[in-house]
Amino acid sequence: MTTTAPDRTGRSCNADEVIVVGGGIGGLTTALALARGGRPVLVLERADAFTEIGAGLQLAPNATRVLDRLGVLERVVAAGVLPRRLVFHSALSGRELTHLDLGDACRERYGGPYVVLHRSDLLAILVDACRAAGVALENGRHVVSVTDEPDRAVVTCADGAAYEGALAVGADGLRSGVRSRFSDDEPVCSGYVAYRGAVPMEQVSGAGELHDVRVWFGPGLHLVQYPLRTGSLFNQVAVFRSPRHAAGDTEWGTPDELDEVFSATCAQVREAVPALWRHMRWPMYDREPLDTWAAGRTVLLGDAAHPMLQYLAQGACQAIEDAVALVRALDGAAGGLGAALKTYEEQRVPRTTRVQRTARVWGDIWHVEGVAALLRDELFVQRRPDDHRHVDWLYGTAAG
């Protein structure tokens, strides 16, 4: 499949083309799904290269089923790790509280594996697949506006280049410019900050036994650990509530706060903190759910539509679900583009709203203090490992 190249002003002249604004995981998965269905697609990415900042990424079965249908799951599994279990520990005592099997039983129940991999590896796989499918990819394109005309969407960049197509998909992340067509809201700061780091596995004590996704939670903090790149790297993410943010300090979430907050944790957690990157930190934001994602010939997707806190590890997974839901709606609607986008919105808004809100609650559960923490730990200990009622709605085949 080929697409019409932009002329010297940057204007794409293919009236059937779908223009995807944003070349992250959601945007590229959407482009791939569209191209697999025979649609011409152009992806406009603001950065000079298709890259992901960060380290690890968790893909639950609701996402890997989609990647399997798109023909890239085999490469994803080869680049990542299939963990045995998701294990929850007390960050104060080190005690194991409960676990969820992520192995063969999980795959059989949900129709897809649970995979952990490096973000940049997934992005590279999607870029390669998009190129092979004929998707046009352009970097260095800072989109400043998306407007509708009766028969086309017009996407304009900061340098004046303009592109026309049948549909514009806003997949431009947490601080989406396309979202401003639908809401004047701003990202909501949680007061928490994340520090990440991935180190060679041979530098990790007990590396031979580290085959699980492990979560250690305590008062206002948690640590997540899992292997990457076929077990050659060990990924760690430490998150904490910043006392300085709560006090109104503009300099908050600093490395010295990280050390201070985690100083009260057990030895296993304290030993992980020095390996975290200190030159970069990630304040944690989400946004309030939107009721409307589509207007005219413009539609939102992924973090542009539903940015969420990370506690369910579903940000990328929900964007991947969005991609196939949008293409399915476009393929199946008999009432034209407006009806297709309405169908997509009706299918996705309730689900992603539930995930967004549940992620907030899950974070609250992880970070409680005092008697509430004692009660939480007891409930976790009493849970049967084969009890799936809290994840069936999220991972199950009805999800995507």
pLDDT for 332-387, tens place per residue?
877 899 999 999 999 999 999 999 999 999 999 999 999 999 999 999 999 999 99
Does the annotation count 344 as an active-site position?
Answer: no
Check 192, 226, 344, 395 and give the catalytic one: 226
Q: Tokens 């991947």 belong to which residue?
A: 320
Query: Given this model, what pLDDT does residue 206 score?
Result: 57
Q: What is the pLDDT of residues 287-342, one digit of tens each?
A: 999 999 999 999 999 999 999 999 999 999 999 999 999 999 999 877 899 999 99
User: What is the average pLDDT across 169-195?
Assistant: 97
pLDDT at residue 7, as a whole number: 46
Reply yes or no on whether the pLDDT at 3 is more than 60: no
Find the mean pLDDT for residues 165-169: 97
Query: In this predicted structure, what is the pLDDT of residue 2?
Result: 36
Residue 207 has pLDDT above 70, yes or no: no
pLDDT band at residue 94 under the 50/70/90 scheme: very high
What pLDDT is recorded for position 4? 43
Evaluate whether 169 touches 19 at the Cβ level (below 8 Å): yes
Q: For the residues 226-233, what does the mean pLDDT come to?
A: 93
Residue 93 has pLDDT above 70, yes or no: yes
Residue 11 has pLDDT above 70, yes or no: no
Residue 322: predicted pLDDT: 98
The tokens describing 32, both together, are 């791939």
Which of 52-56, 144-148, 155-159 has the lowest average pLDDT? Answer: 52-56
> Is the model's pTM score more than 0.85?
yes
Distance in angstroms (rounded) separating the CA atoms of residues 112 and 294: 30
**Cβ atoms of residues 285 and 341 within 8 Å:** no
The per-residue pLDDT for 16 is: 87
* Cα distance between residue 240 and residue 251, in whole Å: 15
In this prediction, residues 9-28 reach a mean pLDDT of 84
Encode burial over 116-140: b for 16+ CB neighbours within 10 A, e otherwise. bbbbbbbbbbbbebbeebbbbbbee
- Picking from 13-17, 83-87, 383-387, which range would have the lowest pLDDT averaged per residue? 13-17
Average pLDDT, the chain: 93
Mean pLDDT of 175-197: 97
> Comparing 71-75, 207-211, 358-362, which segment has the lowest mean pLDDT?
207-211
- The separation between the first and the last C-alpha atoms of the chain, rounded to the nearest angstrom, is 27
Report residue 107 as tokens.
Answer: 């795959």
Which whole-number Å values give the CA distances from 85 to 74, 195, 285, in the listed order?
Answer: 21, 23, 28
Per-residue pLDDT at 398: 58
The confidence score (pLDDT) of residue 9 equals 52
Residue whose structure tokens are 């340098």: 159
- Alpha helix stretches (DSSP H) within the chain: 25-36, 61-69, 73-79, 104-110, 119-132, 243-246, 255-262, 267-270, 315-332, 337-367, 370-382, 392-395
